[in-house]
Amino acid sequence: MNIFRFAGDMTHLISILVLLLKIYATKSCSGISLKTQELYAFVFLARYLDLFSDFISVYNTVMKLVFIGSSLAIVWCMRFHRVVKRSYDRELDTFRHYILVGISFLLALLVHEKFSFQEIFWAFSIYLEAVAILPQLVLLQRSGNVDNLTGQYVFFLGAYRAFYILNWIYRYFTEEHFSRWISCVSGLVQTALYADFFYYYFISWKDNAKLKLPA
């Protein structure tokens, strides 16, 4: 644990809280991609297969439970909550996310750090998380206007990964045998996907204007 990882975990947690606030306070999921939320549920379920077998710390266990539980709760709300599901932008959220699942799993079978059940699914979760935001970004570009809470959610989600890059850099220089290169490369790809969004987010913040993405 270091300050960069802790900051990354906290910004990730804030992004989830912002999304839950949007859904439960407004009873609306407009502007949110169900496809992205389903991908994140896959990510956490695959990554934390060791939840009940390997104990690291109370903090680690609690964070795993929070990420799994919140992702499943969000998917449930968007699919089954009788009020929330009415606001789902089904016509805009048409990204074929199952393709990302298939490619990520195939890549995990071919490129991994160790050929074992948990390591294959860990690599799968890392690859899938790198591209899980794509359906959300495509939906926002198609809709054009981005409401404040949705914009904050995506911003904190991107910031979380940026902090994790700093965490990996720090660990590279301070740990003798740091070798999580799959995380590093995938994290760089994931952060790069946010570049366009961050640019327009900064412009809207600087001009004190509503966030708009080009179609």
The model's pLDDT over 71-101, given as tens digits with 9 standing for 90+, comes to 999 999 999 999 999 999 999 999 999 999 9
Q: What is the pLDDT of residue 190?
A: 87
Question: For residue 186, with 0-12 CB atoms within 10 Å meaning exposed, 13-18 middle and 19 or more buried, which class applies?
Answer: buried
* Long-range residue pairs from 109-114, CB within 8 A, at least 24 positions apart, any chain: 111/182, 112/182, 113/179, 113/180, 113/182
The model's pLDDT over 93-133, given as tens digits with 9 standing for 90+, comes to 999 999 999 999 999 999 988 888 899 999 999 999 999 99
Whether 198 and 160 have beta carbons less than 8 Å apart is answered as no
